[in-house]
Each structure stands twice: as C-alpha cells, then as structure tokens.
Amino acid sequence: MMATKIKMTHEIDVLIEDPRWDDFDLEALCARHFDGLMAQLGHAALPYEVSVLACNDARIAELNKEFRAKSTPTNVLSWPAVERAPEVAGGTPDAPYADMGMCEMGDIAISYETCVAEAQAANRRVMDHVIHLLCHGFLHLLGYDHETDADADLMERYEIAYLGSIGIGNPYECV
C-alpha cells in the first residue's frame, strides 16, 4: 500500500490498495480534474481536501455492503463530509466553504476491475472512464446526485461539459 499527498490549494490523499492502479498516476489525475471541476463550478479559489481509495472489486463490494446494503462490486463510491444536497430536486447544491483552512470534501473509493470492464464494454479508453468516475465521485462530494431525473440531468450536464472541455466524449452516449 502507498499513500501520497499533494498539497497546493488542495490536499489529496490517495491510498492505493491494488497495485494495478500504480500506472494511472491517480495523484496527478485527481489534482488536475478535481481542480478543473472546482473551477467549472466557480470554486477555483477554495482550498479543499479529499481522500481517494484505489481498490479492487472485493474491497469495494465490502464497502458497498457495509454502507449501501448491496453485496456487489460497483465502480465508485463517495462519502461526503458535509451534506450539500439541495432540498428541491434538480436544484444546485450548497456551495462548499472553508471556515479556517481547508474545506473537507470527503472520501471516494474506486474499483479497478469494474472500471476496466465498464470501459471495455462501452468501447472507451480506460483512462477516460477512470477520469469520468473520479469526477462523478467528486461531484457527489459536492452535493450532486442522480436520485431523481432532475438531479441526474444536472449532474450529467456538469460531467458532460467538464469531460468535453478536456476532450473526452459524452460518457452517457452509446458508442
């Protein structure tokens, strides 16, 4: 296991439990794309901290069972430090803020096997899918969700816009 911290206007702790993640440079990916999402949402100047667990299907299935009562692996899980979800479906979540120092965003777990399998099934580059899932997880930390159609539409619009701005196609379109 390896833990790495990146410190600038953010603090990102990445814990790699599965060595197959080593080739992805998750520290740099998270820093670049979480900062990009924060800028897109108008929060570029906000210092934040987040933890990312890079694991395998067995580990994420345990987490999924423990926290969501689902005994199967999933691609990404998120645990926001603060509930920011809007009261109205399709509404904009509360903006993150930092009283003194960093804004604690929360934790994300991402599974290697599921990411690779989904990318292959969709005929997408694995790296593009990993970026999408990391961004998806980070948006959950910011209070975005897909529990209702209105919430899903808003969240997907931000995902599609950000991914498009870095040259990655719409992940919700069939290829």
Distance separating alpha carbons of residues 125 and 128, to the nearest angstrom? 5
53 to each of 26, 63, 158, how far by Cα in Å? Answer: 10, 11, 23
Identify which of 133, 101, 141 has the alpha carbon closest to the alpha carbon of residue 114: 133
CATH 3.40.390.30 is held by the domain 2-165:
yes
- pLDDT tens digit sequence for 131-153: 999 999 999 999 999 999 999 99
Domain chopping of the chain, boundaries:
2-165
Distance separating alpha carbons of residues 100 and 87, to the nearest angstrom? 26
Distance separating alpha carbons of residues 16 and 54, to the nearest angstrom? 5
- pLDDT tens digit sequence for 95-125: 888 776 789 999 999 999 999 999 999 999 9
Query: Percent of the chain scored above 90 by pLDDT?
Result: 82
The whole-number average pLDDT for the span 40-49 is 91
